[in-house]
Structure 1
Amino acid sequence: MGKISQGVLGGFSGKVGNVVGGTWKGIDYMRIKPANVSNPRTAGQVDQRSKFSTTLKFLQSMTDFLRVGFKLYANKMTQFNAAMSYNLNNAITGSYPNFTIDYANALVSRGGLVGAANAAVSSSGGLVEFTWDDNTGSGNAQATDKALLVVYNPTKDESIYDSAGAVRSATSQNLGMPASYVGDDVEAFIGFLSEDGKEVANSVYIGSVTVA
């Protein structure tokens, strides 16, 4: 039985027929209770499940990082869900059952801050080495913007990242890799976060590098 908490024009919680009501983050909602289908298997549903799983596999190892990278897009949803939505719609390539992440179109941070210029990646001594140009003064880029760095290891489904890295004017930073990563190909991304934390740049996919 549903319960009306704010008069006849307010929201309600519980179930009335096949309508379910509730509140999430202070927002009243109503939804239709889905039919009891134990395992829908239409071609479209199977495709979407596979795309979802591929995207989830990519992002779940960097959940904490995404709280910073997608902080500006967590409007009535979590930062992780905002990242899932963007990448599910923009960064999936291939066809069922061989969907993969198109890293060049993927974002691990998103916003209007000017991004990295001429970024590159290399590896030696168990380090992944990021370099970029100091493009301070280009648009809203500031020397004090902090680098957002991600190294994703698709072989191990793990990520190493820094959500408050070197400043833009430093033009380089290293991330240490676990010994078990040596010989693995990893994917590198760089973005920026303003010093006050209010602006974020779209991440740039730098490329793949073998950890040496």
Structure 2
Amino acid sequence: MGTIKQGILGGFSGKVGTVIGGSWKGIDYMRSIPASVANPRTAAQVDQRTKFTTALNFLQPLTSFIRVGFKDYAVKMSAFNAAMAYTIRNAVTGVYPEYGISYADALVSRGSLTGALNPTVAAPTPEQIDFSWVNNSGEGNALATDKVLLVVYNSVKDQALTVIGGSTRSSGSQSVNVPAVFAGDALYCFIAFQNENQSEVSNSTYLGEVVAS
């Protein structure tokens, strides 16, 4: 409740309806109470929150990898936030409330280094995923000494296996061991490269889905 200090024409202190009165350095003032936005629930805000959660669930298991893969875009924001912004804008698909990730449109690494040539992935051996690619050293800024970056993402268990600084581009292959508890789960696989001094990375390439055996 507000209190009038100098009669009906004077200033007041406290709250009257949606107005707050007070005094600062002998000057009476009034201001309106701002609308509460502590928990906005408009349709657009709920929709955006759902997209945000979808992207977050995908990227959280990849946090350490994203710090490498999106470091070039960590300008006035963290690498993770840059990856979140990219994912929400380009890889979240569907209609509210049924949003999901379009893995073919997602990036887990983003940069100007030349990427992988003709990469493939297979799971012919139990508890192992095999990646291969063609050595394209000398193409663009690709060098034989570039190191492979790999992601094996398990959406069922919200877990990811990652390789940072793996085999060289010239070697053409890398295997990733997977835990037995992944057997029967669909695994989504990505490949990228990082140069030897870790100053540049390539855009990632989505290789498709394999089922762990």
TM over 0.5: yes
Q: Tell me the residue number matched to 2:109.
A: 109
Q: Tell me the residue number matched to 1:70.
A: 70
Secondary structure of the corresponding residue to residue 63 of structure 2: helix
- 2:53 corresponds to 1:53: yes
Aligned residue type for 2:114: V
1:10-159 matches, within 5 Å, as 35-123=35-123, 124-159=125-160
Q: Tell me the residue number matched to 2:174.
A: 173
Counterpart Cα distance in 1 of 2:151 and 2:194: 13
Give the superposition deviation at 1:35.
Answer: 4.9
Moved more, 64-73 or 39-48: 39-48
C-alpha RMSD of the superposition: 1.1
C-alpha spacing 1:158/1:35, structure 2 compared with 1 (3 Å): farther
Secondary structure of the corresponding residue to residue 61 of structure 1: helix
Secondary structure of the corresponding residue to residue 132 of structure 1: strand
Secondary structure of the corresponding residue to residue 83 of structure 1: helix
Counterpart Cα distance in 2 of 1:47 and 1:183: 33
Secondary structure of the corresponding residue to residue 143 of structure 2: coil
- 2:199 corresponds to 1:195: no
Counterpart Cα distance in 2 of 1:70 and 1:163: 13
Secondary structure of the corresponding residue to residue 99 of structure 1: strand
Runs of 4+ in structure 1 over 6 Å off: none
Give the superposition deviation at 1:40.
Answer: 1.6
Counterpart Cα distance in 2 of 1:47 and 1:171: 43
Aligned residue type for 2:60: Q
| TM-score of the pair, normalised by structure 1 | 0.82
Aligned length: 179
Secondary structure of the corresponding residue to residue 119 of structure 1: strand
Q: Tell me the residue number matched to 1:209.
A: 210
Aligned residue type for 1:103: Y
Aligned residue type for 1:176: N
Counterpart Cα distance in 1 of 2:37 and 2:112: 42
Counterpart Cα distance in 1 of 2:146 and 2:35: 50
Q: Which runs of 5 or more structure 2 residues have no equivalent in the other structure?
A: 1-33
Counterpart Cα distance in 2 of 1:191 and 1:67: 14
Give the superposition deviation at 1:37.
Answer: 2.3
Counterpart Cα distance in 1 of 2:126 and 2:170: 24
Counterpart Cα distance in 2 of 1:83 and 1:170: 29
Aligned residue type for 2:179: P
Counterpart Cα distance in 1 of 2:157 and 2:74: 28
Secondary structure of the corresponding residue to residue 94 of structure 1: strand
Aligned residue type for 1:48: Q
Aligned residue type for 1:207: G
Q: Tell me the residue number matched to 1:10.
A: none
Q: Tell me the residue number matched to 2:8.
A: none
Counterpart Cα distance in 1 of 2:96 and 2:167: 40
| TM-score of the pair, normalised by structure 2 | 0.82
Q: Tell me the residue number matched to 1:182.
A: 183
